[in-house]
Amino acid sequence: MARSKTMDASAKKRRAKETEKKIQRLAERVVAQIKKEANPEVKIPIRALSNVQFNERKRLIELGDREQSREFFNVSMAKKFMQTFLVASAVKEHLLESGKTTSIRDLYYMTKHTIRGSKENTFDDQKESDPVIEDLEVSLDSLREELHLFAAKRGSMVGPMVIVDAGDEIDLSRMGSGGWSIPSITEDYVIQFKKTSAKYILLVEKEAVWHRLNEDKFWRKHSCMLVTGNGQATRGVRRLLQRLAHELKLPLYVLVDNDPWGLYIYSVVKQGSISLAYESMRMAVPDARFIGLRTSDFKKFGLRDDVKIALNKEDEARAKQMLAYPWFAKKQWQKEIKEMLKEKFKMEIEALSNKDISFVTDVYIPQKIKRGDYLV
C-alpha cells in the first residue's frame, strides 16, 4: 500500500512537470508572436456541434479537428485571451509547482481581481472561468485533473462492492442512507475496485429515486451498484461508470425522466457530450441500456392521467433538436422521440410512485431488466 502511494506521488509529479511544460510552450509561442508585432493567438479546438462527429464504429461523439484561433488584438476575444493566460499562470504557479489540487471554484477566486486602473474584474462569475478552463484543457490537450483541478463533486453510489479511495478501503454496502459520494476525480490512481458481487450497474437520474431504491435496499436484493448523478452526471461519475462497465464488465442500466432532458442525460453517459467531446473515449459507455421512463410505459404500466405533464415549448424545441443529432439517428431513438412529440406529454420517474411508493423498486425496474425491455 505504502509503496503504491509513493509511486503515485512520483507519477503525479512527473505528470505535473509535463503539464507545466505544455503551458510554458503555449506562453512562449505568444511571446514570440508579439515580438514580431503579430497578433498573438492561441489555437483552441472548437467545442461545438459544428466540430463534433459521431463515430459510428466506436459509437462515441468525437471532437473534430477544427480549431478556432483566439487572438489578443480582437475586441471580442481580448478578454478571453487575457483570462486564458491568467488561468494558465495560476495553474502553473499555484497548483502544478506546489503539487496542490483545488476546485474550479477556488481557482475562480484565485484569479478574480479588479484590473488595475479600471472597475473591471478579470472574472465576474464562475460561469466565465469554467469555460476558460475547458478551453485550456483542450488547447493543452491535458485533462482537468492534469491541471490539478476538480469540479464540485456530485453523485452517490452504494452496492455490494469494496473499493479503495485515496488509500482508504471502503465497503460500499455499509454506507447507510447517504451512500458514498463520488469524488470528482475517479481515475485508477485514486479509486481502485477490490471485490464485488454486483451483476449490473443502475444509474438513476434523480437523487430522490436513488433514495427510494437505497431505502428499499434494492441493490442488495438484486445485486447491483446503485448510482445517481443528481441530474446530468459529472465527469467523475461518468469516468467511474465507464471504469465499472469496462474493468468489471458490468452492464449499465439507466433510469431517467421521460422528457428530452432525461433522454439526453442517458445519451451523455452513453456516447459523450458535445462540449466534452474530447473526453468521450474516457467516459462514454456505448452499451448503456435505457430502461425508461418511456412514453409507452404510460400505457404499459397503466398509469393515471394525472401524472402527465404537457410538453412546453422548450421541451419540444429540444426534442426536435435531438432528432437531428446523428447519435439519435437510429430507428428506435427516432421513434422514441417522435412518440413523445406526438403524445405531447412528459413524465417524471416519481410518476411511478403514484401507483405505489415501492412500485419502482418492486415492479418497474425488475420487470424491465428481467424482460430485457430496454433500448440501446
Partner 1 sequence: MSEQVEFTFGGSGGRGARVRPQRKTAAKRSAGKKKRPADEEGGPAPSDSSTGRKGRGSGGGRERRVTAETMAAQQREISVSEFFTKNRHLLGFDNPAKALLTTVKEAVDNSLDACEEAHILPEIVVEIQQVNETRFRVIVEDNGPGIVKAQIPKIFAKLLYGSKFHRLRQSRGQQGIGISAAGLYGQLTTGKPMVITSRTGKGRPAHRIEVQIDTTKNKPKILADDEVAEWHRPHGTRVEIELTGKHRGGRTGVDAYIEQTVVANPHVAVTYRQPKGDEQVYPHASEDLPREPAEIKPHPHGVELGMLMRMLQDARGQKVKGALSTVFSRVSPATAEKVCKAAGVPSSHTATSLTGEQMEALHTALGETKVMAPPSSCVVPIGEELIMAGLRRRYDAEFFEASTRSPSVYRGNPFVVECGLAYGGSLPADEQAEILRFANRVPLQYQPKACAITEGVYATNWKAYTLQQPKGSLPVAPLAVFIHLASVWVPFTSEAKEAVAQYDEIMREIKFALQDCGRKLASKLRARERMESESKRRGLFERYIPELGQSLGAITGRAPKSVEKLFFAALPQFIRVAEIAEAAAAEHAGDDKLAAKKTGKKTGKKKAAKKSTPVKKASRAASAKKGATKKPAAKIKRAPAKKARSKRAPAKKRPRRKG
Q: Which residues are catalytic?
A: 109
CB of residue 30 vs partner 1: minimum separation in angstroms? 6
Among positions 2, 118, 310, 370, the unique one binding partner 1 when judged by CB under 8 A: 118
Among positions 7, 9, 11, 115, the unique one binding partner 1 when judged by CB under 8 A: 115
CB of residue 275 vs partner 1: minimum separation in angstroms? 24
* Closer Cβ to partner 1, 84 or 242, answer by number: 84
Q: Determine the Cα–Cα distance for residues 330 and 320; give it in Å rounded to an integer.
A: 15
Q: Does residue number 24 form part of the binding site for partner 1 (CB under 8 A)?
A: yes
Among positions 7, 9, 34, 166, the unique one binding partner 1 when judged by CB under 8 A: 34
DSSP assignment of 199-246, as one string?
-EEEEES-HHHHHHHHHTTHHHHHTEEEEE-SSSPPHHHHHHHHHHHH
Q: Does residue number 100 form part of the binding site for partner 1 (CB under 8 A)?
A: no
Q: Does residue number 32 form part of the binding site for partner 1 (CB under 8 A)?
A: yes
Q: Does residue number 329 form part of the binding site for partner 1 (CB under 8 A)?
A: no
Which segment (110-118, 179-187, 277-285, 337-345) binds partner 1 by CB under 8 A? 110-118
Cβ–Cβ < 8 Å for 81, 39: no
Cell 503525479 sits on residue: 12
Q: Does residue number 166 form part of the binding site for partner 1 (CB under 8 A)?
A: no
φ/ψ of residue 181, rounded to 5: -85, 135
Q: For residue 53, what is the DSSP state?
A: E
* Closer Cβ to partner 1, 23 or 254, answer by number: 23
Q: Does residue number 98 form part of the binding site for partner 1 (CB under 8 A)?
A: no
Which segment (115-123, 154-162, 248-256, 263-271) binds partner 1 by CB under 8 A? 115-123
* Closer Cβ to partner 1, 82 or 175, answer by number: 82
Of the candidates 370, 369, 351, the residue with the CA atom closest to the CA atom of residue 359: 351
Which segment (37-45, 211-219, 232-240, 335-343) binds partner 1 by CB under 8 A? 37-45
Among positions 43, 194, 330, 335, the unique one binding partner 1 when judged by CB under 8 A: 43
Q: Determine the Cα–Cα distance for residues 347 and 260; give it in Å rounded to an integer.
A: 11
Of the candidates 137, 127, 132, 120, the residue with the CA atom closest to the CA atom of residue 87: 132
CB of residue 33 vs partner 1: minimum separation in angstroms? 5
Angle ∠(155,101,242) on CA atoms, nearest 5: 40
Q: Does residue number 249 form part of the binding site for partner 1 (CB under 8 A)?
A: no
Among positions 8, 12, 15, 33, the unique one binding partner 1 when judged by CB under 8 A: 33
73 CB-near residues (< 8 Å, 6+ apart): 39, 40
Q: Does residue number 2 form part of the binding site for partner 1 (CB under 8 A)?
A: no
Size of the site for partner 1 (CB under 8 A): 37
CB of residue 43 vs partner 1: minimum separation in angstroms? 8
Cell 484590473 sits on residue: 115
DSSP assignment of 289-326, as one string?
EE----TTHHHHTT--GGG-EE--HHHHHHHHHHHTSG
Tell me the CA distances in angstroms from 101 to 8, 80, 105, 121, 150, one per residue in order. 14, 24, 12, 24, 8
Cβ–Cβ < 8 Å for 214, 226: yes
Q: Determine the Cα–Cα distance for residues 239 and 183; give it in Å rounded to an integer.
A: 11
Residue 293 preceded by cis peptide, ω within 30: yes
Among positions 4, 89, 197, 321, the unique one binding partner 1 when judged by CB under 8 A: 89
Q: Determine the Cα–Cα distance for residues 166 and 181; give it in Å rounded to an integer.
A: 13
Q: Does residue number 17 form part of the binding site for partner 1 (CB under 8 A)?
A: no
Q: Does residue number 120 form part of the binding site for partner 1 (CB under 8 A)?
A: yes
Q: What residue ranges bind partner 1 (CB under 8 A)?
A: 23-24, 26-39, 43, 69, 72-73, 75, 78-79, 81-82, 85-86, 88-89, 92-93, 115-118, 120, 122
